[in-house]
Amino acid sequence: MKDYIAFPKLGLEFNISDTIAEFKLFGVQFSLKWYGLLIAIGFLLAVIYAMRRAKYFEIDPDAMIDVVLVSALFAFIGARLYYVVFSEDRSYYFSNPANIFKVWEGGLAIYGGIIFAFVTGIWMCRLRKVNTLAMFDIASLGFLIGQSIGRWGNFFNQEAFGTNTELPWGMTGSVISYGYSSLYDTDLPVHPTFLYESLWCALGFLLLHLFSKKAYKYKGQIFSLYIIWYGIGRFFIEGLRTDSLMLGASLRVSQVVAGLSVLGGGIMYFYLRYKHNSLPVDLFATAEDGSSEEAEETLETEDSETAESIDETNAEDAENTADNEESISEEIKPDNEAVEPDPEVENSAGQVDSGDEAGQETEESEAPENLNMESDDSDDTSDTGTPQETEIEPEVRAEENLPSE
């Protein structure tokens, strides 16, 4: 029978199968499946995204890779064990445990992968000294990338579809029309629930990615929002599916887990927010905040305040220096100002000029006397700032008027 997938109301039909290629290697038959390829692409893109944003979440990229690789291995194991435990054919696996390893026959559950990945992540984060909540934040974004791409593997396998629908995008196909459940009519289109979950995860990634850039305030915030977002979507989408794992006769395992996820995610969100709000602002800004813009604004403000303080200090120092220089100049000024000669000095000089022309001995005896008088007068006038040149001038005139021998 030829494999095909069709959308009758849209007039679309695709001749595709679940296998890309088949080949032999060393005598062993291998098949390359769309499901495995898309999961690998989703995982690779998630790792690339996480590597590019690791420093934003304050995570060492090398340590993060160790956590991711080990967690991915245990996630695969968890997805398989989750399916085996809750499958209706669990007796097939328990009677012969070797059948558990036949993953190529199908049977992986995303919730088992998520649970095992995060549990392993706690252990690895402690081992590699990585902040657990920060790692869970970036891993949540990576999971949304992987889930949105990996779900298209269900499209090629013609699985994970829902009940009948009359919506324009209702789908059918060679496997769907064959029928393996009594919950839908094989002659009518069904809900492409794989597409619903893929779009829901893609939208969740877009919103949380923008949230991490604009409103991310504390570690664990994105992780708790991821649990709530995926849980809400999975709860309603699971209600449409026809291949759900059941817990008893009426409870769908994935719906129970989804409901608990929403409840647990809400409690975690409000607890972490309360813990964040109870921290001092400055402590939170340095230890918890992933926002580098706020830190830069704080540094700029402190730098401007420091510059203003330095300017004010320099202005005060300059003003004090000017005052000191002015006071010093006022103290020095009387010694440098010229003062008019003392009248008594001029009179004594006049008396020398108009005196009788006596002998040289009389004039010489009077000159020292006049000099002594001028010295006394200069002492008196020195207090008023009379320079020494003014004191010597009358003495020179007196000598010039002496008669020659």
Q: What residue spans define the domains of the chain?
A: 5-59+131-290, 343-400
Cα torsion 289, 295, 298, 303: sign = positive
Q: What is the pTM of this model?
A: 0.67
Q: Is the pLDDT of residue 227 over 80?
A: yes
How far apart CA 294 and CA 86 sit, in angstroms, is 49
Q: Is residue 160 within 8 Å of residue 175, measured between CB atoms?
A: no
Q: Under DSSP, is residue 86 helix (H, G, I), strand (E, B) or coil?
A: helix
Our CA dihedral for 121, 124, 130, 134, rounded to 10 degrees, sits at 0
Name which residue leads in pLDDT, 226 or 373.
226
Whose structure tokens read 């109301």?
A: 9
Non-local CB neighbours of 287 within 8 Å, separated by 6+ positions: none
24-42 average pLDDT score: 88
Biggest distance spanned by C-alpha atoms of the chain = 161
Sort 63 into a burial class: Cβ within 10 Å, 0-12 / 13-18 / 19+: middle
Q: Is residue 82 within 8 Å of residue 100, measured between CB atoms?
A: no
Non-local CB neighbours of 47 within 8 Å, separated by 6+ positions: 65, 68, 142
Name which residue leads in pLDDT, 394 or 215.
215
**Predicted confidence (pLDDT) per residue in 287-332, tens digit:** 444 455 555 555 556 666 666 666 667 666 666 666 666 666 555 5
How far apart CA 403 and CA 405 sit, in angstroms, is 6
Q: Is residue 170 within 8 Å of residue 9, measured between CB atoms?
A: yes
Q: Which residues of 93-103 are buried (b: 16+ CB within 10 A; e: fewer)?
A: beeeeeebeee
Q: Is the pLDDT of residue 238 over 90?
A: yes
Nearest to 217 by CA among 131, 281, 263: 281
**Predicted confidence (pLDDT) per residue in 343-372, tens digit:** 554 444 444 444 444 444 444 444 444 444
Which DSSP category does 125 fall into? Answer: H
Q: Under DSSP, is residue 359 helix (H, G, I), strand (E, B) or coil?
A: coil
Give the model's pLDDT for residue 319: 67
How far apart CA 184 and CA 398 sit, in angstroms, is 145
Q: Is residue 311 within 8 Å of residue 302, measured between CB atoms?
A: no
> What is the β-pairing status of strands 172-173 and 251-252?
unpaired
Q: Is residue 103 within 8 Å of residue 77, measured between CB atoms?
A: no
- When mean pLDDT is compared across 18-27, 186-195, 366-375, the lowest value belongs to 366-375
Residue 297 CA to its chain's centroid (Å): 13
